Amino acid sequence: MNTDEEPIAKRRRLTKERKARWLAKQSQESLDRIRAVDAAAYRRRIEAETPPQSQARRERNAETHHIVRDRQRIRDKTIHFIEAQVETDGCRTMNIICQFCKSKNFAVERPFDVKFTSCYRKGKIKLEKPSDALGNDLLSLSLSLSLYPNFLLDLLTNPNNPDYKHFLGNTRSYNSAISFASMGAKVVDFSCGVPYVFKVHGQICHHTSHIQSVNG
């Protein structure tokens, strides 16, 4: 297509895109040299201006600043207007107790019949009491903590432990590292210079080799 037949705005956009791509390929030293040359050329233009040209330039700059300030003011008024029209509401206190599992819930989560369905399906699901490896019931958090191995209990509850903050901040990673299953899939690798995308081809499976005995 002939560039003379393109709209002016499109030609300017294409020119800016070409310039941006060209600048992205330059080294930092080249960019500094380009900025120095542009600054020197701007100073020469300012020095060569006549008084009427200087006055016209100042008026253009002032008009540009006024436009920017007006846009900012209009944007702020629009944001304040929209925020004033929005009715805010919170979930309030999580103090509604499920009669089946004793979990805490928000009032807005409570069904009309007051029987929660997201946990025990209105009492249809029956689960055994949690217990440790020895069969002891874990009736409370304090009891379950007392049955932890000492080094884990220290990592979880002792701020003086040098690994306390690191362990709490990376608990999910540690849990995944020693989980009973790990994800397996055919990961597609893009090597054409595009932004990174994690793409899986086919089915995602879970390996359970961690729970198999070493002796078969």
More confident residue, 145 or 175: 175
Please indicate, yes or no, if residue 179 is contained in any of the structural domains.
no
Q: ∠ at Cα 174 (170, 176), nearest 5°?
A: 115
Split into its structural domains, the chain has a count of 1
Token pair for 102: 């004793």
Single-letter residue type at 6: E
Cα 104 to Cα 96: distance, rounded to the nearest angstrom: 6
Q: What b/e string do you get for 69-105 counting C-beta neighbours within 10 Å, with b at 16 or more? A: eeeeeeeeeeeeeeeeeeeeeeeeeeebebebeeeeb
Single-letter residue type at 87: E
CA atoms within 13 A on the CB side of 37: 6
Please indicate, yes or no, if residue 101 is contained in any of the structural domains.
yes
Please indicate, yes or no, if residue 8 is contained in any of the structural domains.
no
Please indicate, yes or no, if residue 18 is contained in any of the structural domains.
no
Cα 58 to Cα 93: distance, rounded to the nearest angstrom: 59
More confident residue, 147 or 164: 164
Please indicate, yes or no, if residue 206 is contained in any of the structural domains.
no
Cα 133 to Cα 192: distance, rounded to the nearest angstrom: 51
Please indicate, yes or no, if residue 84 is contained in any of the structural domains.
no
For 149-184, write each residue's pLDDT tens digit. Answer: 778 888 888 899 999 999 988 888 887 776 666 677
The residues, ordered by sequence, that sit 6+ positions from 104 with a Cβ below 8 Å of its Cβ are 94, 95, 96, 97, 98
Please indicate, yes or no, if residue 28 is contained in any of the structural domains.
no
> How big is the chain, counted in residues?
216
Lowest mean pLDDT among 23-27, 50-54, 197-201: 197-201
Domain range for 101 is 92-127
For 40-95, write each residue's pLDDT tens digit. Answer: 888 898 888 898 888 998 898 888 888 888 888 888 888 888 777 777 667 778 88
Query: Which pLDDT belongs to residue 160?
Result: 93
Cα 24 to Cα 30: distance, rounded to the nearest angstrom: 11
DSSP result, 10-43: HHHHHHHHHHHHHHHTS-HHHHHHHHHHHHHHHH
Cα first-last separation, the chain: 71
For 130-139, write each residue's pLDDT tens digit. Answer: 665 556 666 5
Cα 153 to Cα 145: distance, rounded to the nearest angstrom: 7
For the whole model, what pTM was predicted? 0.29
Task: Give the confidence band of 3 by pLDDT, cuts at 50, 70, 90.
Answer: very low
Cα 164 to Cα 11: distance, rounded to the nearest angstrom: 59
Please indicate, yes or no, if residue 34 is contained in any of the structural domains.
no
